[in-house]
Amino acid sequence: MPPAAQPEAAPAQPVVAQEAAPEPEPQTEPEAAAADVTKLRADARQAFWRGNYDEAAAHYESLAALKPQDPNAYGELGNVYFGQGKWSEAAGAYLEAGKRLVAMGRIGQAMHLQRIMVGLDAERAQELQRAIDEASGTASTGN
């Protein structure tokens, strides 16, 4: 008896590698920090509008730590304290915002904050006025 015919082996098919879905690029440090800042600001504002001032203040404090030269975090933190009736804390936060505004050359905005601060804390208002005067090259008027 002749040997049984072996079935012909199927020709080898080339293996096509499937492309894996590209992995997301890791965020660079500045991109990650920007995402953190955006999220913190959004969370802080939502907490503020819900009336959760303690949570909002914590978010704004974290935001100020991440972006210490940004006057907005301090200004909004001042608004939170103002909403709580914490006049001294509000004035302190507004002073920090005002100093940063002066450093950025945004004197008009700093002057606006200074006028608000007069009713909250006269000494801090005078401190901001001195910074404005120095930046403007004018003498303090005692406001």
Could you tell me which of 16, 133, 106 has the C-alpha nearest to residue 141? 133
Tell me, what CATH number does 45's domain have?
1.25.40.10
- The answer as to whether 14 is a domain residue is no
Task: Judge whether residue 56 has pLDDT over 90.
Answer: yes
DSSP assignment of 64-91, as one string?
A: HHHSTT-HHHHHHHHHHHHHHT-HHHHH
- The answer as to whether 89 is a domain residue is yes
- The answer as to whether 120 is a domain residue is yes
- The answer as to whether 15 is a domain residue is no
- The answer as to whether 46 is a domain residue is yes
Task: Judge whether residue 2 has pLDDT over 70.
Answer: no
pTM metric for this prediction? 0.72
- The answer as to whether 123 is a domain residue is yes
- Three-state secondary-structure class, residue 5: coil
DSSP state of 105: T
Rounded percentage of the chain residues whose pLDDT exceeds 70: 73
Model confidence at 36, in pLDDT bands (50, 70, 90)?
confident
The CB-side HSE value for 45 (13 A sphere, CA atoms) comes to 9
Residue-wise burial string across 93-106, b where 16 or more C-beta atoms lie within 10 A, e elsewhere: bbbbbbbbbbeeee
Residues 6+ apart with CB under 8 A from 27: 35
Name the amino acid, one letter, at 28. T
Q: How many domains does the chain have?
A: 1
Q: Which of 9-13, 29-33, 36-40, 69-73 has the lowest mean pLDDT?
A: 9-13
Q: Which domain holds residue 131?
A: 31-136
Mean pLDDT of 114-127: 96
How many other β-carbons are positioned within 10 Å of the β-carbon of residue 75?
19
- Higher pLDDT, residue 77 or 140: 77
Model confidence at 73, in pLDDT bands (50, 70, 90)?
very high
